[in-house]
Structure 1
Amino acid sequence: MAESNQTQCIAMDSATALQRYLDHIPVSSISGIKSSVVLEVKTGDFVKDALRIMFKKNVASALIADVSTDGFPDRFIGFVHLSSLLLWCIQEIRKLENEIECIESEKTKETVCGIMGFLEQNPHIGQTKVGELGKTFLWDPYFPVGMRDTLFHVLLMFSKHRLQAVPVVELSNSNVIGFITQTAVIHLLLESSGLEWFDGIADKVISDFRFDNEEHVLHVYGDQNIIEAFYILWNKQIGAVAVTDRGSKRLIGCLRNSDAYLLLEKEDLFQNRK
């Protein structure tokens, strides 16, 4: 019993030390915040138009402004990602194709150049307003932080609200000056050499991981089609899915929801999604 209490005490001390370490790292130490493009879409914008502007500006996400509160500093009500909009479109397209039972008809091949062309031809999908997607929990909530907040606060935001990015605002005027992404935080943590917990993660090689008990691991096989993989990402509301070799069961990579961006970049990929 004494050994158990001692172990618990050490574990608590370790956790407290880690928390204090993270609570002394200011948000301002995270690189690339002010270099990110701040783009906003309005609740009244069509999904197809939001996709087009985000693709044109080469941004992964945008703030959602409430059209009924234009001019107010707190007009932002959410945060939407390009990949989330694309996955929603794929889900709606999948439903439509199942209904009409002509997934790869010659007519479709001739008239649809890519996903944007498909949305133009199907206005009940493309002309859905961004504001209407709130009920599908497609948005991230708008929880901004300031440059004087700490990394520990940001990590709590990521874990508690399952955010992909956090807006950073100027305290004087509440203007959004940039974003903190999960990737940026990971890069910063990987620079924290000398801490056993961080070093233990950084030293691991991805190819060392195997999926012997595949029933409990969410994955797709490398020979499955891309639309199935994207459907899993949408249905399970996850950021990535492992890709394994069907024969050896070894990990060969992963498909991220951000890879849905390729459907906009490569028209033939959308046409041949099956």
Structure 2
Amino acid sequence: MQESPRSTVSSPEAKLGLKVEDLWDVQEPQLSPSEKLNSCFESIPVSAFPPAPSSQVVEINSDSSLDEAVQMLSKHKILSAPVRNVEAPEDASWIDRYIGIVEFAGIAVWLLHQSEAAAQMMSGSSSVGLVPGGSAATISSAALGTPAYAIASTAVAEAAGARASAAIGPGILGPEAAATMGGSFFEILTSSDFYKNTKVGDISGSFRWAPFLALQTSDTFLTMLLLLSKYRMKSLPVVDPGEGKIENIITQSAVVHMLAECVGLHWFETWGTRKLSELGLPVMKSNQLLKVHGDESVLQAFKLMRVKRVGGIPVVEGNGRKVIGNISIRDVQFLLTAPELYKDHRSITAKNFLTTVRKYLEEHQEASPLLRGPITCRKDNTLEEVILRLDTHKIHRIYVVDEDEHLEGVITLRDIISKVVHEPPGYFGDFFYGVVPLPKNSSV
């Protein structure tokens, strides 16, 4: 067998692939390829996974402000980071040292709650409770009923002043009103004291899409791959129980990069050379896809991601089948770190959001998937081709189109990983029952 150039490179990922190859060769011949792969990955501890770059093993203290968290995530170009509990005693176990994962997705949730709460306050919603002095005390439906949210929303409303009053009418939710206010809304938001002073720990009950879950160095690849696919984890910290600290962070992107480095190896080729249609991909078809039209508010895109718990959606035009771009939850950083970009926009539509961010990236000579048009593939492409494309372009999803470039579905990193392994009956027992809900046809 002739190996591809990628699999002959002495990268840690390629060496790991060769280890899987050795395990593959000694499997019982009567096992199916899927069973062989499960057995191989069950035999490898996660401690063997190549370490992430030091810039990606980032922790955020629970007393950091949301502003500091956004800046940290943006600086290191990462989607999320573990939150370290600064109040934990020095001799605390690793379980007590971390209170969760803070991510752009969670901060977007927070942002939208604040804008909705501010809108209700300015429109005189009855859900706002008052305490002596006339300040808002609770916002039960819009702000999860916590004083911290109420105080934050009061600050938004008061800071926005007359502009907010004019932009927000009765029955209009915050995202729509904020879009009408344009970039001034985000300038007000990011310059406010509550945004700079609200601590990550203050919203620890709301920013997690899933519980904080770490792997121990002795856990297996099979466990890791199942958590990153079926159980919807975006990244997994790996802790050394003896040291009580995070040794590595394994992301979906890192796993797909490992797979890309294994092109040409026998175990990879058994399924990597099959066409997408043969593997039941895309899982998420066009009529199931969330979409945002180019002339809709970009906040509508982020709101859809929040409500439906997905990591990105396509921007479409015309009849909704032509993809002109992709907006991911990571891109909310451009609303929070550079709000001045939108001050001349009366309404921040999805299309002008893409145009403005691309111009900003070009001027600052920053590399980003947003600089390219949407990356697409066809149903007759092989899984190997899609893996290489995702890895090369450093993207989390690829859109499937037909010969007329009409949208037919989407394939995510999670979809790719889910084709590598399957969960044996009773593997996790009832550990995840009621903890990590799995929406029907979920694809993030």
Q: Which SS does the other structure have where 2:57 is aligned?
A: coil
Question: 5+ residue gaps in structure 2?
Answer: 1-30, 123-164, 168-176, 350-444
Q: Report the Cα offset of residue 202 of structure 1.
A: 7.8
Alignment correspondent of 2:107: 85
Alignment correspondent of 1:243: 315
Establish whether residue 229 from structure 1 lines up as the match of residue 229 from structure 2.
Answer: no
Alignment correspondent of 1:199: 273
Give the share of equivalent positions with the same residue, in percent: 24
Matched residues in 1 for 2:34 and 2:330: separation? 33
Residues 44, 131 of structure 1: 8 Å contact kept? yes
Alignment correspondent of 1:3: none
Aligned length: 255
- Aligned CA distance change for structure 1 residues 28 and 252 (closer, same or farther; 3 Å): farther
Residues 217, 239 of structure 2: 8 Å contact kept? yes
Deviation sequence 1:192-234 (CA, Å, 0-9, x none):
4343433336899xxx98x9853x3222223323111111111
Which amino acid is the alignment partner of residue 62 of structure 2? Answer: T
Q: Report the Cα offset of residue 85 of structure 1.
A: 1.3
- Aligned CA distance change for structure 1 residues 23 and 88 (closer, same or farther; 3 Å): same
Which amino acid is the alignment partner of residue 315 of structure 2? Answer: V
Deviation sequence 1:2-48 (CA, Å, 0-9, x none):
xxxxxxxxxx8343223113334543554452434433333344323
- Aligned CA distance change for structure 1 residues 104 and 128 (closer, same or farther; 3 Å): closer
Deviation sequence 1:146-188 (CA, Å, 0-9, x none):
4454321211222454211111223531221331111111122
Matched residues in 2 for 1:122 and 1:179: separation? 32
Establish whether residue 15 from structure 1 lines up as the match of residue 85 from structure 2.
Answer: no
Which amino acid is the alignment partner of residue 35 of structure 2? Answer: T
Alignment correspondent of 1:68: 87
Which amino acid is the alignment partner of residue 192 of structure 2? Answer: Q
Q: Report the Cα offset of residue 126 of structure 1.
A: 5.1
Q: Report the Cα offset of residue 132 of structure 1.
A: 3.4
| TM-score for both structures, normalised by structure 2 | 0.48
Task: Say which one has the larger Rg.
Answer: 2
Residues 70, 333 of structure 2: 8 Å contact kept? no
Alignment of 1:1-274 (within 5 A): 13-56=32-75, 58-71=77-90, 72-74=92-94, 75-97=97-119, 99-100=121-122, 101=165, 102=167, 103=177, 112=184, 115=186, 117-121=188-192, 123=194, 127-136=197-206, 138=208, 140-159=210-229, 161-193=231-263, 194-200=268-274, 214=287, 216-247=288-319, 249-269=321-341, 271=343, 272=345, 273-274=348-349
**Which structure has more helix as a fraction of its residues?**
1
> How large is the RMSD of aligned CA atoms in angstroms?
3.7
Question: 5+ residue gaps in structure 1?
Answer: 1-11
Matched residues in 1 for 2:204 and 2:231: separation? 16
Matched residues in 1 for 2:340 and 2:215: separation? 41
Matched residues in 2 for 1:105 and 1:80: separation? 25
Residues 143, 166 of structure 1: 8 Å contact kept? yes
Matched residues in 2 for 1:144 and 1:128: separation? 26
Matched residues in 1 for 2:198 and 2:303: separation? 20
Q: Which SS does the other structure have where 1:50 is aligned?
A: helix
Matched residues in 2 for 1:171 and 1:34: separation? 21
